[in-house]
Amino acid sequence: MSTFPEMPNGERMMRISDVAHLLRMSDKTVRRLIDAGRLRSLKLRGLRLIRWSDLQQLIESPAQA
């Protein structure tokens, strides 16, 4: 797993593979969460990145059926 780069505003950014590793799920499942609108992400030069705060929000939100 790579270290999470820090943005100038102090926010940490992670790749899909990093998030998948942390949540113990596949990259494909993380992409499904993004496509479903449950996990926010941004695309920078073709690389999909997830903010640490957006990941925390997903983890803390109640599970949806």
Q: Select the more confidently predicted residue: 1 or 64.
A: 64
Give the DSSP H or E segment for 34: helix 27-35
Dist CA 44 CA 41 (whole Å): 10
**Structure confidence at residue 5 as a pLDDT band (50, 70, 90):** low
Q: Per-domain residue ranges for the chain? A: 13-60
- 9 pLDDT band (50/70/90 cuts)? confident
Q: What is the pLDDT of residues 12-56, one digit of tens each?
A: 999 999 999 999 999 999 999 999 999 999 998 999 999 999 999
Compute the distance between CA of residue 7 and CA of residue 30 in angstroms, rounded to an integer.
22
pTM of the full structure: 0.82
- CA dist 64 and 44 (Å) reads 29
Q: pLDDT band at residue 61, thresholds of 50, 70 and 90? A: confident
What is the strand order of the sheet 13-15 is part of? Answer: 13-15, 47-51, 42-44
